[in-house]
Structure 1
Amino acid sequence: YQDDLLFTALELAGYNWETVDKFRKAVGKKIPAEMARQHEIFVKGCQTHSDMSKEEAEHIWQLFEPFQGYGFNKAHAACYGRVAYQTAYLKANFPAEYMCAVLTAESGDIEKVALIIAECERMEIPVLPPDINTSRKDFTLIKAETDKIRFGLFTIKNLGTNTVDALLAERDANGPFVSIANLLERMPSREINKKSLEALAKSGTLDEIAERNQILQSMDALLEYNHETARARERNQASLFGMMQDIPTALSLRLPEVVPSSATERLAWEKELLGLYVSGHPLDAYRAKIPKACSKISTIKSFRPGALVTTTGLIINAKKILTKKGEVMMFLKLQDFTDDIEAVVFPHTLEKYVAVLQPETCVFIKGKTSERSGATSILVDQVKKLEV
């Protein structure tokens, strides 16, 4: 512990409490210049105050060096140990509650949220898209025979906090929304506009009460319906829509029949509005055709550099750069069901496969592992587009 370093410096090298605190900062902050100065002071101090040889003092100093990488004082370590035990207990005994809280705590970091959702999947805790009648502001625990977690309404891009507050206040006061017309009749027009309604539809929040494409293709009629019912309430008199009170509200809107949105469209919208795929993954369509020899990305990350690998994944993004020779190479972010990883495509390989290496494309990749900036990556040798 850091405490041991301090007491060693105090007792063997003649430090006092003021000077030993500078020693602590040098070790804790990893300041090279200050560490070099403290090294000299410590070795001389051990020789002067403890009659040590320079070799003995140097040997003790070498024991200190690992603390420059990672070291805590006893109180800090004890607190971390306590928190680690508490969180492990909660995860083991209240798994859904714990994971819901972790998702809410990390909701601003999409990459961390994706990793936590992968852990939820491993724990067999379903994480579902937001829902107009069950989601709260943050990630929401749905208690049932099998506990589930719902995305919160605050996680939806382009949906303002005022609109979320108004939706929840109305739902809490008057019960669930039973149809798209019912939602538009009950919500004030100042909180429903094209942007917010589109965000609710594309994210899957309204799936329980309306089909996504039907909402998107009837946007003008829906907004007019919302405004008309709001004006009718203000005038406290019947309107064209108010005269149809006895007719089911869904019929009074007369929404046209449309082709339902495809799985590909729904996933793309979820990525756009929620930041990641929730109801599925683009790789789902190819799951049965993925060779058993393919390694999961989460597993590849533990491989040593130089290991031969084959894997499949979705290209999340692709960035071209110029080499010193003026040739084009590419950096990919590849994602599967378990994790994501960087893949590097050198110029001679890029020439062969440039047409395939496009964002949102599912591919089969063969290559070998490498280490870059302390993280595992894949050096790509072969690429093939996955086909259904």
Structure 2
Amino acid sequence: FQLESVGMRSLIKEMQPTSLADIVALVALYRPGPLGSGMVEDYIARKHRRKEVEYLHPTLEPILAETHGIILYQEQVMQIASDLAGFSLGQADLLRRAMGKKKPEVIAAQREQFMAGAAGKGIPADAAGRIFDLMAHFAGYGFNKSHSAAYALVAYQTAYLKANYPVEYMAALISSVMENTDKVALYIEECRRMGIEILPPDINESMVDFSVIGGKIRFGLAAVKNVGRGAIENIIATRKEGGNFVSLTDFCRRVDLRVVNKKVLESLIKCGAFGSLGLFRARMLAGLDEILETAQRYQQEKLSGQHSLLELLGPDKESQEDKLPQVPEFAADRLLALEKETVGLYISGHPLAPYSQFLREHTVSSKELQELGDGDRVILGGILVTGKQILTRKGEPMLFATLEDLTGTVEVVIFPRLFSENRSLLVEDTCLLIEGMVNWQETEVKVIADRISALESQRQGKGAKALYLRLPSREEAALDQVFALLRQYPGSNPVYIYFRKERALHQVPDHLAVELRGELVEALESCLGRGEVAVKEGPRSGPGRR
């Protein structure tokens, strides 16, 4: 989890780690202090030999060589104090803590001790003073290496599993977060991106957790609402003992209906767990009461010994057949709604599936939103799942809406004027495009909406295409290469560059407008990395996608 955020993945591309030590450094670097100090850019430049690594004294090289001359870990501060000034480990730890908490009076006393110790080791006073100042500067950003190493090792192991056993790894990962619907949806979308097929719950194949079947992932029954572990264990044991279920009637006759009750059965039907039997969900729900009544009578007779010898030999084919009302199947959107009701997400499809490419090119996902700063402008695309209407102090209605996309959900705040103008659109299960501003409140992110439109109408609309690029900063060495590539494809399509460090989107000069061709996009992706280049409509009144 330490390395899965959008920002961290971007940093990994820039650093291009080649060892476990690089991953340990990544974990230590990806924190507010180092990110805002220029330390990350300095580290990457030194690693790739774009900047020379220098040491204030030869004694520092064995301590700092691993981190290219930068004091990155708290342990390095302690080792420098020990090796260069003769501090004991206890004294070195006191120094580390004083520097980390920036206590001037304590640091001043420690400086005298450090200078005296360094002199005793033959280190010149000016070099010792500069080394101490360097330690004091970086100690505020230093991270515990053992913590970084623990996270890095887990990241490396899980990355290995994902690369070499992707289906098994993703099945285990989803099983570990089954109670967090947003994470389940996020990881299922990742599976689809990886080409791993997700199979719906199935009474004849599903286990408790998500499982691997024939290179695909089968939904676990524990992910279905209202289906408890006792019911699941009874279903699996019954299946193991008597073989696969052949009909709804057969299922109801064989399982323990005291545990697998009507509520459980309704959830299993709604989520599609009986789909392999080839029966319509509408017919099963319509005929469930009658089948349950017959099955309960059958089980009672069996317990009281009223079955004939012929019946004890096994059920005949006719007795296993379902006698269901002839009603039409639910519409596709109703089937998806039933899946969402019982599993918390869509399984067989998604209302946003027809818009997936449009959303990737034109909007920020709810997952990417976590990487943006307060006040950043964004465009979101999703389906309105809930809306809570309240009155302001002036008595005007406004709305707190929950918008769901393919990676999760986000709360959108819609103030009175905008709410009044768009009431007809703000209906549950409507697909919307929302423009607005990121609003962080402590650890929660929301979007303050200032424009709302129907997603379908926006998708059908045509606009001038633009090229969007993302770079870490203006100082990035790749910027010159980017401009050189742009000059090779002169045209009329505008180019925008988003600099992460500034959190700002800039349009490049008009003379660098381009002709959008596949070769240009491929060359830019080769230079900047996949995911850093996008082609979409130019913004109407400001940056939409960051």
TM category, shorter: 0.7 to 0.9
Contact 1:212 1:260 in 2 (8 A): yes
Of 232, 236, 256, which aligns to 1:168? 236
Partners of 2:375 and 2:437 within 8 A in 1? yes
- Aligned counterpart, 1:356: 425
1:282 aligned counterpart, secondary structure: coil
Show the counterpart of 1:41: 106
By how many angstroms is 1:49 displaced?
A: 4.1
Q: Report the counterpart of residue 182 of structure 1 in structure 2.
A: 250
Q: Within 5 Å, give how 1:210-359 maps onto structure 2.
A: 210-238=279-307, 245-246=315-316, 248-251=318-321, 254-284=323-353, 287=355, 294-295=362-363, 297=365, 301=369, 310-320=379-389, 327-359=396-428
Asked whether the 8 Å contact 1:104–1:138 carries over to 2, the reply is yes
Q: How many residues are treated as equivalent by the alignment?
A: 370
Instruction: Check whether the contact 2:257–2:296 (CA below 8 A) recurs between aligned residues.
Output: yes
Shift of 1:338: 4.3
Amino acid in structure 1 at the alignment position of 2:210: F
Deviation at 1:308, TM superposition (A): 6.2
In structure 2, do the counterparts of structure 1 residues 7 and 42 end up closer, same or farther at CA, with 3 Å as the change threshold? farther
Structure 2 CA distance for partners of 1:23 and 1:201, relative to 1, 3 Å: farther
In the TM superposition, residue 368 of structure 1 has moved relative to its aligned partner by 4.0
CA distance in 2, matches of 1:291, 1:300: 12
Conserved? CA contact 2:95–2:107, under 8 Å: no
Q: Deviations over 1:326-383 (max 9, x none)?
A: 6544333322334544433233212211342233222233x24435247775443332
Does residue 5 (structure 1) correspond to residue 73 (structure 2)? The answer is no
Pair 191,375 (structure 1): closer, same or farther in 2 beyond 3 Å: closer
Counterpart residue number, 2:148? 77
| Structure 1 residue 215 displacement after superposition | 2.1
Asked if the contact 2:239–2:245 (Cα under 8 Å) also holds between the matched residues in 1, the reply is yes
3-state SS, counterpart of residue 134 of structure 1:
coil
Counterparts of 1:192 and 1:332, CA distance in 2: 36
Q: C-alpha deviations, 1:260-312, integer Å up to 9, x for none?
A: 1222222112112111111111224x549969973352696367777765553
CA 1:78–1:332: 2 relative to 1, 3 Å: same
Larger displacement relative to structure 2 (348-357 or 15-24): 15-24
Is it true that 1:199 corresponds to 2:271 in the alignment?
no
The one-letter amino acid of 1:364's match is L
Task: Verify: 1:62 aligned to 2:137, yes or no.
Answer: yes
Partner AA of 1:119 in structure 2: E
Residues 154-165 of structure 1 correspond to what in structure 2 (within 5 A)? Answer: 154-165=222-233
Partner of 1:153: 221
SS at structure 2 position matched to 1:190 = coil
Verify the 8 A CA contact 2:399 2:414 in the aligned structure 1.
yes
Offset at residue 46 of structure 1 (A):
0.9
Task: Tell me if structure 2 keeps the 8 A contact 1:12–1:50.
Answer: no
For normalisation by structure 1, the TM-score amounts to: 0.81
Stretches of structure 1 that go unaligned for 5 or more consecutive residues are none
Distance 1:187 1:120 in 2: 33
Counterpart amino acid of residue 236 in structure 2: L
Structure 1 residue identity aligned to 2:149: A
Q: 1:220 to 1:336 in 2, by over 3 A?
A: same
Instruction: Please say if residues 127 and 150 of structure 1, whose CA atoms lie closer than 8 Å, have aligned partners that are also in contact.
Output: yes
- Answer yes or no: is the 8 Å Cα contact 2:367–2:408 preserved in 1: no
Partner residue of 2:174?
Answer: 103
Query: How far apart in 2 are the matches of 1:246 and 1:233?
Result: 15
- Structure-2 separation of matches of 1:48 and 1:26: 13
CA distance in 2, matches of 1:292, 1:42: 51
Distance across 1 between alignment mates of 2:356 and 2:221? 34
Instruction: Return the letter of the residue paired with 2:77.
Output: L
Match of 1:200, as an amino acid? L
Give the Cα–Cα distance (whole angstroms) in 1 for the partners of residues 351 and 183 of structure 2. 20
- Quick one: which amino acid aligns to residue 267 of structure 2? A
Instruction: Give the gaps of 5 or more residues in structure 2.
Output: 1-72, 117-124, 458-546
Letter of the 1:255 partner, please give it: L
AA matched with 2:79: F
Between the aligned partners of 2:140 and 2:363, the Cα distance in structure 1 is 38
8 A contact 2:388–2:399 mirrored in 1? yes
Q: 1:305·1:371 contact (CA, 8 Å) conserved in 2? A: yes
| Mapped partners of 1:288, 1:78: distance in 2 | 38
Question: Matched residues in 1 for 2:138 and 2:379: separation?
Answer: 43
Change (3 A) 1:247 1:94: closer
Identity value in percent: 34
Identify the match of residue 90 of structure 1 among 161, 179, 188. 161
> How much has 1:191 moved relative to structure 2?
2.2
**1:142 alignment partner AA:** I
Task: Report deviation, 1:113.
Answer: 1.1
Label 1:296 to 1:64 Cα distance change in 2 as closer, same or farther (>3 A). Answer: closer
Q: Please report the RMSD computed on the Cα atoms of aligned residues, expressed in angstroms.
A: 3.6
Shift of the 292–370 alpha-carbon distance from structure 1 to 2, 3 Å rule, reads closer
Query: Does structure 1 retain, via aligned residues, the 8 Å contact 2:336–2:347?
Result: yes
Greater displacement, 292-301 / 88-97: 292-301
Residue aligned with 2:258, SS: helix
